[in-house]
Amino acid sequence: MHAASPRAETGQAPLLRRALRMATAWAALGASLGAILGSETGSVVGIASYAVAGIVEMAALGAVLGLLGGRADEAVAGAAWGLLVAPACALAAARGPVASAAALGLVLGAAVGATFRPYVRAVSVPYLLASRAITAGPPPPPCRGHR
């Protein structure tokens, strides 16, 4: 016989698993970001160094966002949308380098994807509490005791 682990009882394992998934997803996004930004240097060493820096920086950010409730699949989906929309906007506006717009879209899209569901959940709590208080009606009158 073995005792259940304290992690399984307190629910820490899913939280740590989510943080690890987010850190891994954001490390991959950081490598992509570094490759995009490093391509402006024109050298393989520049691309590799930017990619490593992106991995280091973005993995930490992903772990924090995972602990706050973000999900890796939503972050990757947001990054894909940002990677499509931002360069298209830069091309349509004919302003600035497209690679910089793609990098910005990648990061902003991933951040929106990772934080959208927790944000909506946090914003909806006061509304739900207020709607329950309104539908519950007035409190019952206080009990005055028997004489």
Q: Which two tokens stand for residue 57?
A: 């920086």
* Ramachandran angles phi, psi of 107, nearest 5°: -70, -45
- Residue 7, pLDDT above cutoff 60: no
**Cα–Cα distance for residue pair 131/125, rounded to 1 Å:** 10
- Residue 48, pLDDT above cutoff 90: yes
pTM: 0.71
Give the pLDDT confidence score for residue 1 in this predicted structure.
46
Least confident of 15-29, 51-65, 123-137: 123-137
**Cα–Cα distance for residue pair 102/112, rounded to 1 Å:** 15
17, 19, 28, 65 from 10: Cα distances, Å? 14, 16, 30, 20
- Residue 63, pLDDT above cutoff 70: yes
**CB proximity list for 30: less than 8 A, separation 6 or greater:** 51, 53, 54, 55, 56, 57, 58, 59
Give the pLDDT confidence score for residue 145 in this predicted structure.
67
